[in-house]
Amino acid sequence: MIADRIEALLADKGYDADAIREDLAAADIEAVIPAKSNRRNPVPHDREKYRWRNLVERLFNKLKNWRRIATRYDKTQESYLGFVNLVAALQWIPFVHET
């Protein structure tokens, strides 16, 4: 079950709904979701954890620059995930080695 493997859900304001927050609380998962501007009783969120969401979104943006990943040409899950790992490694190399 996925609830056993995650501690917090990082999401944008589009997921700010009482039903989602209740489901997360029932599964003992922290909801790191900023409140919508029109919410009557704003729910506080961990701003430090929410900053990690930006890093994850930028990673997905960089991965989608590779057409093969964005359009999911591979037929099997294993080959698709293998190519995602390859591209992630190629994105990581410039941060590790200076040229």
- Tell me the per-residue pLDDT of 19-50, one tens digit each, with 9 for 90 and over: 999 999 998 999 999 999 898 888 888 889 99
For residue 99, pLDDT over 70 is answered with: no
Cβ atoms within 10 A of the Cβ of 33, count?
Answer: 23
Q: How do residues 45-64 score in pLDDT, each as one tens digit?
A: 888 999 888 888 888 888 88
DSSP string, 75-88: SSHHHHHHHHHHHH
For residue 33, the model assigns a pLDDT of 93
For residue 3, the model assigns a pLDDT of 65
DSSP-derived pairing of the beta strands 8-10 and 30-32: parallel
pTM over 0.75: no
For residue 25, the model assigns a pLDDT of 92
Question: Rg for the chain (alpha carbons), in Å?
Answer: 17
End-to-end CA gap in the chain: 43
For residue 2, the model assigns a pLDDT of 66
Token pair listed for 47 = 């701003």
